[in-house]
Structure 1
Amino acid sequence: MVGGTGTRLLRTAARAQAAGAAVLVATGCVSAAAQLALPAVLGKAVDALVGGIGFGRWLAACLGLVIVYVAFEAYSDYRAGVVQARSALFFRRTAANRLVGAGPRARTDGGPGGFAACILESAAAAAMGTNAAVWLALSLLPALVSLFMLWWTDVWIGLVFSCGLPVVAWCLRSFAVDSSLLVTSYLEEQSTVSSRLAEALGGARTIAASQTLEREVARVVEPLPRLRRSGDALWRLQAKVTSQSNVLFPLLHIAVVATAGLQLGRGRISSGQLLAASEYTAMGTGLGMTVLFVNQLARARSGAEQLETYAVLPPMEYGTAELPRPAPSTGLGVELRGVTVRRAGRTVLLGVDIAVPAGGVVALVGRSGSGKSTVAALMGRLFDPDRGAVLLGGVPARTLSRAALRHSVVFAFERPELIGDDIADTIAAGAPNATLDNVARAAGLARAASFIEKMPDGYRTGVESVVLSGGEMQRLGLARAFVRPARLVLLDDATSSLDMATEYEIDRALASGTSGATRVIVAHRASSAARADTVVWLDAGKVRATGTHGELWGLPGYRAIFQERPEPRTPLDAAGAAR
């Protein structure tokens, strides 16, 4: 196989399927051995028939070889299907594990739609690699043995056959190089179409609301002409090689049989040997089948190159340190020291210093794009900063073990994803030992029990069968923060879709249900900021000011943040502001 960026991944997959490939090689070798022995035995049967001695014995041997060939060929096809299915699983699992393991900061072309297209289409193509390599090697075996047998039968027969092999090899090499380039182009365009289609389906409401359907359809189908050109070019190349083979191989076969006929007339070979030579020539010219396997290898390599983007993503590394045991009524202090984060050439955070005391409630406030969600993600170590340090309980976050980190930190997001088979699973995400009673208690604290209990199967209702409002989704996400004890609770605008009365109730539930925990709230409402002990005002990736909501309210720039999103004043707001 030609070297390239996808070769390493294909070799890794082949090693993972080494046992299955070994069985495939073994059965293929038995099948090939029976196929190769058959012409020689058939020739002996013909000679025995002409001579009138031992014909039955040779005929029985022919039937036995046919049975062995058919049985092992069928089993080889079965094993090839198993190897290909397991290879596809390997590629998909490898890409998915690396993408998820790299954390939210990992960025790949095409977004989720591009990734979905890649693991479905490119993984299926790459999965052909192990089988194609085995079949290519096994297809060469009959050709080489046939060449030896033709030379063994007669030097002139072997010489005539050998003269045509360089032309065959040149055709195959040319096809391998050209098809690899065309298949790569085809898969890239196919992935682009799938990615854009997935994005369009995900944004269907926005497209309908903005009346941009025609423009979006045009964007999705824009790569189709290039896709067609790549496909047509690939088919033309295959047709060219096939036509060359259909001319070259019959001519070579005729030349060998004619030479064998001359040698038979001279008495140098028998009738059975002429028949065997004809059969071995047919097997030798079966090199044309290698075109199929070379094409599959080219597709596999191109598919592996597409997957390489995800497979080489470095996983987030964890240390072995544990967090200090909390003192009574204390949570987990969080500190950012000189933190800088850059994304896509843009500085998101620059030299940020934030210290959140254990057990405190801090609100992160700022305009959109100021870095609030990035700070929250850093505190929970969803990713690491480019510069600076994050400390949890005085311990550098990079040195903590995965278990210590995940057992002490919980998140609630603005748009929580429903993961798991049913509602109970999605609430218990991250808490594998949670019982149904724990889940029901958490749902009650998050004010989600009322609508869950009205579902057809309650907590066992499948997540794919329910339609939830934004507020209901957020309450399920908040329930996750209650289902297991944690020392740090990070709420990334997790109550933005709730009415203020429900938000106030949940805030009280958080205060009692996560007693002693440190809470960091990404706040867009003045009421949320007012209920925090301290407010950190972020502006353009820097900390502009720190203080209570009441202290900062006197600053025009601070008030402007909330005036951009007006909300009715209530007694709850007034009470919170008084704090």
Structure 2
Amino acid sequence: MGQDHRHPSRRGGAPDRTAWAAARRARTRRGPAPDAGPPWVWPLVLALSVAVSSAAALALPAVLAAAVDRALSASAGQGLLPVAAVLAALTGAEALAQYAGPRATAEETARLRRALVRHIVALGPHSAAGTTTGDLVARLTASAGEAGPAVQAAVYAVAQLAMAAGSVLALGLLAPELAAAFLVTAPAGWLLLRRHLRRTARRGEGYQAAQAAVAARLLDALAGRRTIAAAATVEREIERVLRPLPDLGRNGRALWDSQRRVAWSTGLLAPATQITVIAVAGWELSTGALGPGDLVAALGYATLGLGGFGTAQSLLDLARARAGRRRVREVLAVPRQPPGLRRLPPGPGRVELRGVTVRTPAGVVLDGLDLVVPARRCVAIVGRSGAGTSLLAAVAGGLRAPDGGIASLDGVPLDEIRPADLRAAVSYAFCDPELTGGTVLDALSAAAERLPEERVHAAARAAQADAFVRRLPAGYDTPLAHAPLSGGQRQRLGLARALARDSRLLVLDDATSSLDSATEAAVLRALDDSYGDRTRLVVTRRTATAARADLVAWLHEGRVTALAPHRDLWHVPAYRSLFEDQEDADD
């Protein structure tokens, strides 16, 4: 196979196209990365290693006590082997736990993030439980990151409590007075932990909510940064973005204060407990109730028992993780539309909306709307800003399930159609399309099944995109990261991507708004000539686009006021004002 000469370089020193094309083909062959494995493997490894480590730690004082007794009886060598074995088990288990803990945390965080991404994408662009993009980003990054260490914190908390209980039991077996001395401070420590854990959980949720508010405002500001700069409102926008900072600081300081109080309190309780146990053990030794080895064991078990106070940090980590997990589950709990099971039979692409109602947090946008889009016709949807034209297009193509009423395609309700059939039957082009993939060709070929390159090239020519794509360093094989594209060029690539799919319904949601009049006219002419057998639903704010459509659906106050040709509606002053207002805004 020779080099690909379809797109010859127009200037010297351009990157090698064959290498780019080979890299793209290699990525296609590799396919998706293999799964990391069952989610329970590393938590199980962590739990087992911590269990072995805890058992070895509990056995060590007894083994040391036996070694001391043998040393005093002139048989020291006989007690070294058990000590070495216990120390080896303790060291190995600790080393494995140090690896398994972060690994379990990383995989749990990744699992939560994958579940969030899948669920958000499955919900669709209009069904994310009323959360903003910034809030979803905060849940995906900060909240999922806080929730990831939950398994590790839980394992260590249980292990520390078990070691504390085992130590108290061992002290009781040595001498009941030792266990009683240790337990004198236990109720105070438990009440302290309980109080601060509740406070930490509450403050953790507040801290993460404030983080989400800052992220949401920052994303809004970044999206409108050109407008902000042009309006000279930078300082005002900075103030708006940072407005949640007092809440963030207050909750953050409260979290640190909880940790400080726990550390300070346990720092006092631990020495007091240890001194009490040592004093009782010394008394028992003086009376002959305990031997030297028993004293060593008592000191060891008292130290291990104080590890129960170390449970405070693990429980604080667990409280923060629970707060993060709660925010993640709020999104995961949003019910998804059950997938349809019916096959979509062949049809011309007739769309019918009956009694469609759509509600948003701002109120009812579409109110019992009725609309019939004839098959193989072009229907323009027009309306004032906020009238719900894009929502109507989303409902007609199945991207948004209506809150009431029925939307159907060729007589089959959209919510009953198999998702694969529905997505194959409907293609979309948006005002600001997102281009995904490694190269320009990957972006244009995005579909459940990869599209033939010939069809992609034909669609690019129809969308007036082929000429500027071929001028890129490697033509269609140019990486998207190396393809500087204007807003109009992105729109034309989005149109080409929609046209390349063999769908019966084509929905253009303001998809030509960034094109100049001549380019838009050429695109619309190509749509009529080459894709006239498809049903076309076009959301537009331009007079020329509405005039080329077969029918215009005039959306007003949540319903279709009229469905008629543009030339008939032009005589209505209120209809003309829709476009006059838009032209004034464009000027």
Q: TM > 0.5 between the two?
A: yes
**Contact 1:103–1:315 (8 Å) recurs in 2:** no
**Contact 2:182–2:277 (8 Å) recurs in 1:** yes
Find the partner of 1:403 among 414, 417, 420: 420
Pairwise CA distance, 1:440: 2.6
Alignment correspondent of 1:307:
328
1:72 aligns with 2:93: yes
Amino acid at match of 1:262: W
SS at match of 1:362: strand
Find the partner of 1:24 among 39, 46, 61: 46
Aligned-residue sequence identity (percent) comes to 39
Deviations 1:107-145 (A, max 9, x none): 556621221122111111011111111111111121111
**Contact 2:391–2:400 (8 Å) recurs in 1:** no
**Contact 1:320–1:401 (8 Å) recurs in 2:** yes
Alignment correspondent of 2:520:
503
1:455 aligns with 2:472: yes
Distance 1:42 1:465 in 2: 67
**Contact 1:172–1:291 (8 Å) recurs in 2:** yes
Alignment correspondent of 2:508:
491
How many equivalent pairs are there?
Answer: 548
Q: How does 1:133-152 map to 2 (within 5 A)?
A: 133-152=154-173
Amino acid at match of 1:508: R
SS at match of 1:249: helix
1:112 aligns with 2:133: yes
Q: How does 1:197-346 map to 2 (within 5 A)?
A: 197-326=218-347, 331-346=348-363
Pairwise CA distance, 1:257: 1.2
Structure 1, gaps ≥5 residues long: 1-15, 568-579
**Contact 2:344–2:418 (8 Å) recurs in 1:** no
Alignment correspondent of 2:540:
523
Pairwise CA distance, 1:308: 2.9
**Contact 1:129–1:296 (8 Å) recurs in 2:** yes
**Contact 2:127–2:400 (8 Å) recurs in 1:** no
Alignment correspondent of 1:390:
407
Pairwise CA distance, 1:523: 2.5
Alignment correspondent of 2:386:
369
Distance 1:247 1:553 in 2: 84
Pairwise CA distance, 1:345: 4.6
* Structure 1 residues 306 and 355: CA distance shift in structure 2, 3 A: same
* Structure 1 residues 123 and 278: CA distance shift in structure 2, 3 A: same
Find the partner of 1:167 among 188, 194, 214: 188
Query: Which has the larger displacement, 96-105 or 273-282?
Result: 96-105
Distance 1:273 1:401 in 2: 73
Pairwise CA distance, 1:229: 2.4
Distance 2:207 2:388 in 1: 40
Pairwise CA distance, 1:40: 0.7
TM-score normalised by structure 2 residue count: 0.89
Amino acid at match of 1:484: R
Deviations 1:428-447 (A, max 9, x none): 22243213343333222211
SS at match of 2:253: helix
Amino acid at match of 1:19: V
Alignment correspondent of 1:469:
486
TM-score normalised by structure 1 residue count: 0.91
Find the partner of 1:51 among 60, 73, 78: 73
* Structure 1 residues 235 and 536: CA distance shift in structure 2, 3 A: closer
Pairwise CA distance, 1:405: 0.5
SS at match of 1:318: coil
Deviations 1:470-513 (A, max 9, x none): 21111011011221211011111211221222222222322343
Distance 1:283 1:44 in 2: 18
Amino acid at match of 2:534: A
Deviations 1:64-122 (A, max 9, x none): 21121111111112111111111111221222222222222225566212211221111
Pairwise CA distance, 1:236: 2.3
